[in-house]
Amino acid sequence: MLYPLSYEGLCVHGLESHCWSSRARTRLQAYKLPGPCLNTTRLAVMKGHLTAPAPAGWFLPDVRSIRARIGGWAQLSVVQYFVAESAVIEAWAGPEPYSRATGFISDLGAVSCGLYEDRSVCSPLHWLMNASFVVQGLALVLGALFLTAGLLSVAARPGVQARRFRAVEGGSSPTRVLAVPWILAVAIRILTGVAGLGTVIVGLVPEDLGSPWHFAGALMFFIGGGFALLLLAIVWFRQTPVSWFLAVCGLICLGALVVGGITGMDVPQPGILERLMGYPVTIGLATAGLVIAQRVHAGRKALRAG
């Protein structure tokens, strides 16, 4: 006898004499089969086929959702910074041409023209530079909020299960312990959010306002972004060759940050040193966003085609 079922074929718990199986694409039909129903059994339907239940602690992240798509594109959008920086440099009105080798990035966002820490600064498009900082930071925060730990732990690969916890034997019953990739993915989201918040602060509090929050915001971006890239490289190792590039970006950022801390930025070309801290973070996180956006797009395209 046929019975209608909306989307999933599941065991009906409490009715031990019957189990249900389903065939589905959009609207399913279910057949009543004899036999005991196991409370631990779940049947998932994908593309009209029945798939085996996931082991405890494992699940299939949704890598085809609008949320994942927005998060990936938001993180990719941080490359707008380089366009804004080039435009602001072209409009520079200081007594000497601006040089990326010797000029600090924050000089481009200085509101007033004049002498600042023995440097003559005058950036007519300071509003564009600071707006770019804020937009970049908000994009990173959006990526941190929208890209889930499950999606990050599988590098947005469709059909790959993520592990949230594992069971550890001990005492009378097994104890659930969070899996290492899951913990790292959560840390990546937090660090990316910290980096984004730091960039927002940099844009809202220009260097010539004399507030320590500008320096604090810059440190949040460098430290949060650098460590986020290193952890992402670890999680994505053997999942995509891009992991090596992310690791290099993270190491360059943190290495330059250490050098800057030791020397107090008193080097012949401080602009290059500062850009070795900041550029790898922007490029690395944008690259990760590109990988995610491409895989989410491919997954959604395959779903529509199927």
| pLDDT tens by residue, 2-34 | 433 333 333 333 333 333 333 333 333 333 334
Contact 78, 136 (CB under 8 A): yes
Nearest to 249 by CA among 216, 215, 220, 286: 286
What does the block give as tokens for 43?
């049947």
What does the block give as tokens for 263?
């020397």
Contact 177, 80 (CB under 8 A): no
| pLDDT tens by residue, 146-189 | 999 999 999 999 888 988 887 777 666 777 888 899 999 999 99
pLDDT at res. 168? 73
The proportion of the chain whose per-residue pLDDT surpasses 90, expressed as a percent, equals 66
Mean pLDDT value across residues 108-112: 96
| pLDDT tens by residue, 243-276 | 999 999 999 999 999 999 999 999 999 999 999 9
Between helix 126-146 and helix 80-90 the angle, nearest 10°, is 170
Query: What contacts 125, CB < 8 A, 6 or more positions away?
Result: 87, 88, 91, 108
| pLDDT tens by residue, 215-242 | 999 999 999 999 999 999 999 999 999 9
Record the pTM.
Answer: 0.80
pLDDT class for 60, splitting at 50, 70, 90? Answer: confident
What's the whole-number average pLDDT of the chain? 84
